[in-house]
């Protein structure tokens, strides 16, 4: 998955007098995923615009909690501070966050979790202005839905009152958070459209890529069910599963593949680097996701920028993107026959007009450049009187 945009030139350090934005997020580099991508890309773009940037995050990855990461690190000019935590990865407790806020001009909290609540209820201790970006809230699965709704309408509503602005990264988030914070702001996520730009196969191929964490809500089981149907229809079909271990580990996914007799037709790639992912994409023509929930659908935009034809499960986030960009195809991955037919249809349309379809895909991705999206965040920072001299 992506971390930073294509121009990876190291930024000049900002003067100590530059305003300091402290991003608080539960997971960051070297972990890979949509949340990490957003914070890294926004941080780098903010540096370019004359701010100082610090990321306060947890000192281990949820997939390897026993392996402690360096407590301090500089990543492309971003100061990274990692702190101890305990409890569940769903709601990690990390009170040492308060030790790293004293010199901040603005706290930018990412996601609705312990940090969101603790910094809200502890605002008299730190006294800093705060904004929060929702990143899908905590509704990534339907598990404990009733309890989540009660929590959302009580504790989340109360915590949100401490924030200057609640920023929603998708239309579905805006619809939900507007119920408790009527003046919620929409700033959709950017995508690293330079990372895999225009790399998909120039020839239509029956080869599919899916990219994302191995999480239950990504429904790899549904995607594999569709793949089994495709294999029965035409043995040339191949699926590459690219991602990092999460709720599911390598063995879990391998078992799902073996149970459907898809060995040799599905290749699993665990935590590959971007060069490896790029090589995988060059052999493929389609991107598929059976995810039942997405905060925004960042990976679908990266697929568009690569020239991969997306075929996506019709969840709220993907449906919003598809309504805006007809190049995106939706289907119902809970029904493997229907999903397989949609994939075949997308392949046939691509093979019939490869240049025209590719141009539509690339054009749809252009509006999500991080340069454009970061500018909207900078406007928000300045509206809160947190300004900096442009360093571009």
Q: Is residue 198 part of a domain?
A: no
C-alpha to C-alpha distance for 325 and 252, rounded to whole angstroms: 34
**Would you give the DSSP letter of residue 179?**
T
| Residue 15 within a domain | no
Helix (H) or strand (E) holding 29: none
Q: Could you tell me if 158 and 218 lie in one domain?
A: no
- Domains held by the chain: number: 2
Is the CB of residue 339 less than 8 Å from the CB of residue 333?
Answer: yes
Longest dimension (CA), the chain: 64
CATH number, residue 169:
3.40.50.2000
Residues 172 and 307 in one domain: no
For residue 45, give every residue at least 6 positions away whose Cβ sits within 8 Å of its Cβ, in sequence order, or none: 5, 370, 371, 374
Same domain, 224 and 295: yes
Tokens (6 digits) for 196: 């895999």
Q: Say if residue 249 is in the same domain as residue 347.
A: yes
* Domain membership flag for residue 199: no
Shared-domain flag, residues 283 and 164:
no
Q: Which domain holds residue 300?
A: 207-367
Residue 362's pLDDT is 95
CB 159 within 8 A of CB 116: yes
Task: Specify whether the CB–CB gap between 193 and 302 falls below 8 A.
Answer: yes
pLDDT at 368: 87
Pair 375, 50: CB distance under 8 Å: no
391 found inside a domain: no
Cα–Cα distance for residue pair 313/321, rounded to 1 Å: 12
Q: Is residue 202 a part of any domain in this protein?
A: no
pLDDT value of residue 288: 98
pLDDT at 138 (0 to 100): 67
Q: Assess whether 271 and 329 both reside in one domain.
A: yes
Residue 261 falls inside a structural domain: yes
Residue 390's pLDDT is 65
My answer on whether 373 and 362 are in the same domain is no
Each of the 392 residues of the chain gets a pLDDT tens digit; together they read 343 333 333 445 677 889 999 999 999 999 877 889 899 999 999 999 999 999 999 999 998 899 999 999 999 999 999 999 999 988 999 999 999 999 999 999 999 999 999 999 999 999 999 999 999 876 655 566 788 889 899 999 999 999 999 999 888 899 999 999 999 999 988 888 888 999 999 999 999 999 998 999 999 999 999 999 999 999 999 999 999 998 899 999 999 999 999 999 999 999 999 999 999 999 999 999 999 988 778 889 999 999 999 999 999 889 989 999 999 999 999 999 999 999 999 999 999 999 999 999 999 998 888 988 999 999 999 999 998 766 54
Query: Quick one: which H or E segment has residue 307?
Result: none
- In the block, tokens 């999206």 appear at 373
3-state SS class at 296: coil
d(CA 164, CA 128): 10
Place of tokens 């990865």: 89
Are 231 and 178 contained in the same domain? no
Q: Are 318 and 297 in contact (CB under 8 A)?
A: yes
Full DSSP string of 214-270: B-GGG-HHHHHHHHHHHHHH-TT-EEEEEE-BSSS-HHHHHHHHHHTT-BTTEEEEE
Same-domain check for residues 252 and 132: no
Report the number of secondary-structure helices (H) and strands (E) in the chain: 14, 14
In three-state secondary structure terms, 132 is: strand
The answer to whether residues 152 and 71 belong to one domain is yes
Residue 303 counted as domain residue: yes
Residues 243 and 331 in one domain: yes
Query: H-helix or E-strand containing 129?
Result: none
Side-chain half-sphere of 285: how many Cα atoms within 13 Å? 22
105 with 215, same domain? no
Q: How many CB atoms lie within 10 A of CB 289?
A: 26
| 72 domain residue, yes or no | yes
């Amino acid at each position: 998955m992506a971390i930073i945009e294509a121009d990876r030139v190291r930024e000049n350090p900002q003067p100590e007098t530059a305003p300091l934005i402290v991003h608080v997020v539960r997971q960051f580099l070297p972990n890979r995923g949509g949340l990490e991508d957003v914070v890294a890309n926004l941080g780098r773009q903010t540096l370019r615009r004359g701010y100082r940037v610090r990321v306060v995050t947890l000192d281990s990855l949820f997939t390897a909690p026993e392996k402690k990461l360096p407590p301090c690190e500089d990543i492309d000019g971003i100061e990274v501070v990692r702190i101890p935590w305990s409890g569940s990865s769903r709601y990690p407790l990390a009170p040492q966050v308060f030790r790293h806020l004293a010199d901040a001009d603005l706290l930018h909290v990412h996601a609705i979790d312990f940090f969101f609540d603790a910094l809200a209820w502890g605002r008299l201790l730190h006294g800093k202005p705060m904004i929060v970006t929702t990143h899908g809230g905590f509704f990534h699965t339907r598990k404990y839905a009733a309890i989540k709704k009660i929590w959302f309408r009580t504790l989340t509503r109360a915590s949100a009152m401490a924030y200057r602005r609640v920023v929603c990264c998708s239309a579905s988030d805006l619809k939900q958070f507007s119920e408790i914070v009527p003046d919620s702001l929409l700033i959709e996520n950017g995508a690293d459209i330079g990372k895999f730009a225009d790399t998909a196969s120039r020839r239509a191929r029956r080869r599919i890529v899916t990219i994302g964490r191995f999480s239950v809500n990504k429904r790899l089981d549904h995607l594999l069910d569709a793949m089994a149907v495709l294999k029965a229809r035409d043995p040339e079909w191949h699926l590459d599963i690219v991602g990092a271990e999460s709720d599911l580990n390598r063995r879990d996914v391998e078992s799902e593949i073996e149970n459907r007799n898809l060995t040799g037709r599905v290749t699993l790639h665990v935590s590959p680097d971007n060069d490896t992912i790029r090589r995988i994409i060059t052999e493929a023509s389609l991107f598929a996701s059976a995810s039942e929930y997405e905060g925004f659908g960042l990976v679908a935009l990266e697929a568009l920028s690569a020239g991969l034809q997306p075929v996506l499960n019709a969840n709220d986030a993907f449906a919003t993107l598809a309504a805006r960009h007809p190049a995106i195809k939706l289907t119902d991955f809970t029904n493997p026959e229907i999903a397989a037919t949609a994939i075949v249809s997308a392949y046939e349309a691509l093979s019939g007009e490869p240049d025209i379809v590719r141009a539509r895909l690339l054009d749809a991705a252009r509006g999500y450049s991080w340069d454009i999206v970061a500018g909207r965040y900078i406007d928000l920072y300045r509206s809160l009187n947190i300004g900096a001299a442009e360093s571009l």
